[in-house]
């Protein structure tokens, strides 16, 4: 059991500063929302009047559209700031006998340690921060230090990805967290449209501490241009997620960005599925594209959202579905090409039944089987780019 000095002055000071910064960010977010409401109100006031020349009316409509877009940007920035404010943490200094025991034990392994802190988020997520270096001209890995701390603190800890791999004589701050309840395996199977050399689909499995995110984008058309557009969407989505924002915010920001460009030929779909390996919660966010399937044994659920592709101005629609996953569940994400030109009336329904019949517990085998099955249903013809992404989760046995 971890013991802390609840009266520690540094902890109280850190908590006060974090709350002070959080409130300032929230106040700024409220200001941006108020400005967005003012701009929206200005448009409502002008809607009734249609006097003036044709040129004056066109200028008025352009001004209204500009204000509408700017108001949307302000609301998105406000949402972004609120999301950042919600990630504040409480900093707690380990104290007394337990901290001294840990420092002495690490010293016995040739590791000099100080400033051992607990970081607890609003959601209850626990992290541990410590400043370390080695005492001799040797190096030790962050994973080895995680093993030492796991034994000393009686918690199964793993190093976060932001840590350096090796620790030497130069002091560095390391961050550790409790090992996730689930582990996962991922797989992808793709096929390029006939007479094309590259796929217009792009995908990524983006890993963070305690979560994995499946990202799939289908560019308009096929070939190199479609590949560039979908690849750009995937890259930007990864950057937004790396900033600590969720799939819903990524879709909103990219929808506004592509809509502002005004080029309908550069639009693309975007599917984002984030799986929290600590809780098993799965959040699926969509902007166009085919449905996503959740497989648990022979039971299969089809998740779809009636949304338009990025750039079509449907940012206000409900794009996100949240589900709870269990041991052995599979998440299957496909591009439109997988279910095009099937002889049955509802290709997605036919594919759902086929997925339920498959007994493989290997994401690789499942992805490859679905792709082969889809090509067979199209008579062996590949008339559009096809992409199948699969992620399976299992309970982590080493806890």
Instruction: Report DSSP state, residue 181.
Output: S
Closest CA to 290 of 168, 387, 375, 172: 387
As for how many domains the chain has, the answer is 3
Residues 79 and 28 in one domain: yes
Instruction: Give me the residues of the chain with pLDDT under 70, please.
Output: 1-22, 42-52, 73, 84-91, 95, 121-124, 261-266, 306, 313-319, 398-399
Query: What is the model's pLDDT at position 147?
Result: 92
Q: What angle do CA 174, 179, 185 make, to 5 degrees?
A: 115
Whole domain around residue 374: which residue ranges? 182-395
How many Å apart are CA 152 and CA 274, to the nearest integer? 33
* Statement to judge: residues 139 and 164 lie in one domain: yes
Looking at the fold, whether 282 and 359 belong to one and the same domain comes out as: yes
- Return d(Cα 82, Cα 26) in angstroms, integer: 6
- Beta-carbon contacts of residue 100 (< 8 Å; ≥ 6 apart): none
**Tokens standing for residue 369:** 């089987």
Indicate whether 318 and 352 sit together in one domain.
Answer: yes
The residue among 58, 85, 112 that closes a domain is 85
* Statement to judge: residues 348 and 365 lie in one domain: yes
Pair (197, 229) in one structural domain: yes
What is the three-class DSSP state of 173? strand
What is this structure's pTM? 0.76
pLDDT of residue 29: 77
For residue 158, give the H/E element and its range.
strand 157-159
pLDDT for the residue 300? 95
List the beta bridge partners of residue 123.
none
Q: Which residues contact 321 (CB under 8 A, 6 or more apart)?
A: 283, 284, 303, 305
Question: In terms of domains, do 218 and 308 share one?
Answer: yes
- Does 109 share its domain with 67? no
Distances from the Cα of 49 to the Cα of 60, 147, 286, angstroms: 10, 71, 38
The predicted structure's pLDDT at residue 78 = 79
């Amino acid at each position: 059991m971890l013991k802390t000095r609840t009266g520690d002055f540094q902890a109280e000071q850190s908590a006060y500063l974090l709350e002070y910064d959080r409130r300032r960010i929230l106040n700024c977010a409220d200001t941006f929302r108020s400005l967005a409401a003012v701009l929206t109100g200005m448009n409502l006031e002008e809607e009734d009047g249609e006097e003036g020349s044709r040129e004056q009316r066109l200028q008025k409509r352009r001004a209204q559209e500009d204000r509408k877009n700017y108001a949307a940007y302000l609301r998105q920035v406000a949402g972004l700031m609120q999301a950042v404010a919600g990630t504040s943490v409480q900093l707690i200094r380990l104290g007394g006998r337990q901290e001294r025991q840990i420092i002495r034990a690490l010293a016995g392994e040739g590791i000099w340690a100080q400033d051992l802190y607990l970081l607890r988020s609003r959601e209850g997520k626990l992290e541990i921060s410590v400043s370390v270096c080695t005492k001799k001209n040797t190096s030790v890995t962050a994973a080895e230090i995680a093993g030492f701390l796991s034994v000393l603190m009686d918690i199964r800890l793993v190093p976060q990805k932001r840590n350096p791999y090796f620790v030497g004589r130069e002091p560095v701050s390391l961050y550790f967290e409790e090992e996730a309840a689930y582990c996962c395996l991922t797989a992808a199977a793709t096929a390029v449209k006939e007479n094309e050399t590259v796929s217009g689909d792009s995908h990524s499995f983006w890993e963070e501490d305690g979560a994995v995110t499946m990202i799939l984008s289908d560019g308009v058309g096929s070939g190199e241009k479609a590949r560039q557009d979908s690849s750009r969407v995937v890259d930007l989505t990864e950057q937004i997620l790396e900033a600590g924002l969720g799939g819903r915010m990524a879709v909103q920001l990219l929808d506004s960005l592509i809509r502002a460009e005004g080029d309908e030929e550069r639009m693309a779909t975007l599917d984002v599925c984030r799986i929290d390996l600590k809780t098993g919660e799965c959040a699926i966010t969509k902007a166009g594209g085919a449905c996503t399937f959740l497989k648990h044994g022979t039971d299969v659920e089809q998740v779809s959202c009636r949304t338009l592709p990025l750039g079509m101005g449907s940012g206000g629609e409900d794009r996100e579905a949240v589900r709870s996953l269990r041991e052995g569940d599979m998440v299957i994400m496909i591009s439109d090409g997988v279910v095009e030109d099937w002889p049955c009336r509802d290709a997605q329904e036919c594919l759902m039944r086929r997925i339920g019949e498959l007994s493989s517990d290997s994401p690789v085998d499942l992805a490859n089987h679905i792709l082969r099955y889809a090509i067979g249903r199209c008579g062996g013809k590949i008339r559009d780019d096809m992409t199948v992404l699969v992620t399976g989760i299992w309970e982590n046995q080493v806890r």
